[in-house]
Amino acid sequence: MKKVLVAGGSGYLGRHVAKEFKQRGYFVRVLVRNPDKIKEKGEHGEPIIYDLVDEVVTGDATQPETLKGICDNIDIVFSSLGMTRPDFKHSSFDVDYRGNRSILDLALAGKVKKFIYISVFNAEKMLDIENIQAHEQFAGELRKSGLGYTIVRPTGYFSDMVQFLNLANMGIMPVVGDGDKRSNPIHAADLAKVCVDAADSDTTDIDAGGPDVFTYREVGELAARIAGKNPLFLAIPLWIGEGLLAVSRFINRDIADIISFALAVSKLDSVAPKYGTHRLEDYFKENL
Ligand SMILES: NC(=O)c1ccc[n+]([C@@H]2O[C@H](COP(=O)([O-])OP(=O)(O)OC[C@H]3O[C@@H](n4cnc5c(N)ncnc54)[C@H](OP(=O)(O)O)[C@@H]3O)[C@@H](O)[C@H]2O)c1
C-alpha cells in the first residue's frame, strides 16, 4: 500500500485531497496544527477527516523541529500548506516558501519518491506579488531537487467565491475595473482528483480550473440570484484599487498582497484547462 503525507491537511483543499487518497486505497498521514479542527466540518463544507485518515501528526511548518519524522516511510508528499490569511506574525516566505522547503528537506532525507505541490494559476504573470514569489521560489527548488514532482496551478477555489454571496447579502457588489475578465473557479473535490491522479503521472506541471467560465460580474450576478438579493453593483475604477494598494503597503504587506492579487485577477483572464463536474451555482445554494 502506498503511503502519502498530506501537508495542509486541515485546509479547504487538503481535506478533500486526504479523503480522495483514502478512497483510492492509500495509507494517509495528515500534518495539521490543530487535530481538533479536522474532527468538525470545515467552514466551506470540507469533510471531517479525523477518523477517516490513518495517522494525524501535529506540527508547525515555521518550526522545523516540530516536523521531525513526518516523512518517515512515506512514498508521496502532497502539500497545499500555505498562508491564505494574514496572521500578522509570519510572512508568505516564512510559510509558503520556508515551511514547504523544510518538508522538502525531510522528503529528500527519507524515501519519498514524489512531491505534489499547489501553486497558483498564472503565477508567472503575477510575480510582483510576494505570496506568488514564495510559491514559485519553492516550486523552482522542488523542480531542481531531483525528486519526482508535479506542480498543480489552480484558478480560484469555490471557497473564495462565497465572498460574492456575502456581498450580495450585504446589498453591495463591488466590481474592480470592468468586471469583464474571465475565470473558471474550481471545487476542491474536483481539484483533489487532479492532484491524486498526479501521484501516478509523469506530468510535471498541471494548470487546472473548473467546468464553467464566468466573468467576475457574472459571478456577482449568480450570487445575487441565488441569494435572492438585488445588490448595488459598485464600479471601483482600477486607479482607486491601486491607491488602496499603495496605502496598504504602509500598513501590512500581507493585506497589500491580498489587494494586489485582487487587482491582478481583475486585469487578467484566468481560464485554465477544465476539470471536474461541480457547479458554482450548486455550491452557492449549499452555502447560502
Ligand atoms: N484560494 C484560492 O483561490 C487558491 C487558488 C490557487 C491556489 N491556492 C493555494 O492553494 C493552497 C491551499 O489553499 P486552501 O484554500 O486549501 O488554504 P487553507 O484552507 O488556508 O489551507 C492551508 C493549510 O495550510 C496549513 N498551514 C498554514 N500555516 C501553517 C503552518 N505554519 N504550519 C502547518 N500548517 C500550516 C493550514 O493549517 P490551519 O488549518 O491550522 O490554518 C491549512 O491546513 C494555498 O497555498 C493557496 O495559496 C489557493
The sign of the CA dihedral 220, 175, 209, 50 is negative
Q: Which residue among 84, 184, 265 has the greatest number of ligand 1 atoms within 8 angstroms of its CB, and so is best to mutate?
A: 84
Q: 156 phi and psi, to 5 degrees?
A: -65, 150
* pLDDT value for 88: 84
Pairing type for strands 76-79 and 55-58 reads unpaired
Full set of structural domains in the chain with CATH: 3-155+186-208 (3.40.50.720)
Question: Residues 114-133: pLDDT tens digits?
Answer: 999 999 999 999 999 999 99
How would residue 98 be classed by pLDDT, with cut points 50, 70 and 90?
very high
- The mean per-residue pLDDT over the stretch 208-228 comes to 96
User: How far apart (Å, rounded) are the C-alpha atoms in residues 198 and 153?
Assistant: 12
Give, for ligand 1, the residue of 32, 80, 119, 265 to mutate: max count of ligand atoms closer than 8 Å to Cβ.
Answer: 80
- Residue 264's pLDDT is 80
C-alpha cell at 120: 497558483
Residue 13 Cβ inside 6 Å of ligand 1? The answer reads yes
Model pLDDT, residue 210: 98
Distance 83 CA to ligand 1 centre (A): 5
pLDDT computed for residue 262 by the predictor: 80
Q: What is the pLDDT of residues 222-254, one digit of tens each?
A: 999 999 999 999 888 888 888 888 888 777 777
